[in-house]
Amino acid sequence: MDSLRALIREIPDYPKPGILFYDITPVLGDPDGFADLIDAMATPFLDAGITKVAGIEARGFTVAAPVAERLGAGFIPIRKPGKLPFAVHRQDYQLEYGTDSLEIHVDAVAAGDRVLLVDDVIATGGTAAAAVELLRTVGADVAGFSVFIELAFLNGAASLNDVTHHALLTYD
């Protein structure tokens, strides 16, 4: 995990003053780092009976789609408003730096699907909580939340309530 941590670039005052942004693009751009990241995020859920992995636009897609493939699961996109072409459910939520909404296709989940939610960073937890809410609205059994980076000082995991979360790296 130290090699992954070393690849993360910390950018002060992005996208707004006072935010320390954890940039994962150097991890994604490093062939060994990217492979290690996907392995580490997928491995705890190999025997969890996951049938679908949900990813949150846009950075979440870069991690969630390869984790889905690694688990032999399908992929569900959770997107910003107006991006999904079919009928959707929408959920509003608070960001660390603003407010936003997420949408999911109404038919994203089939009966009996066990869904793993995957994202790059959990900060305040608003985004992940909104995604869990959307998944449950469409009937998913949310089996867990796998995240690369947890900003523990923001206590975002508390808003996930009963969803088991697994973070690779924690920043205090």
Interatomic CA distance for residues 34 and 39, integer angstroms: 9
124 near ligand AMP, judged by CB under 6 A: yes
Among 55, 66, 77, 156, binds ligand AMP (CB under 6 A): 156
Compute the least distance from the CB of residue 111 to ligand AMP, in Å. Answer: 29
Q: Are 117 and 145 in contact (CB under 8 A)?
A: yes
Among 64, 126, 142, 148, binds ligand AMP (CB under 6 A): 126
Whether 96 is catalytic: yes
56 near ligand AMP, judged by CB under 6 A: yes
77 near ligand AMP, judged by CB under 6 A: no
Among 108, 125, 157, 167, binds ligand AMP (CB under 6 A): 125
Binding string, residues 3-42; x marks residues near ligand AMP by CB under 6 A: ----------------xxxx--------------------
Select from 99, 95, 102 the least CA-distant residue to 151: 95
Bridge partners, residue 62, by sequence? none
Structure tokens, 90:
């929408």
List the catalytic residue out of 57, 59, 69, 70: 59
Q: Are 4 and 33 in contact (CB under 8 A)?
A: yes
Cβ burial, residue 145 (10 Å; 0-12/13-18/19+) = buried
Nearer to ligand AMP among residue 40 and residue 139 (C-beta): 40
Whether 59 is catalytic: yes
Alpha-carbon Rg for the chain in angstroms: 15
165 near ligand AMP, judged by CB under 6 A: no
Structure tokens, 10:
């910390």
**Catalytic positions:** 59, 96
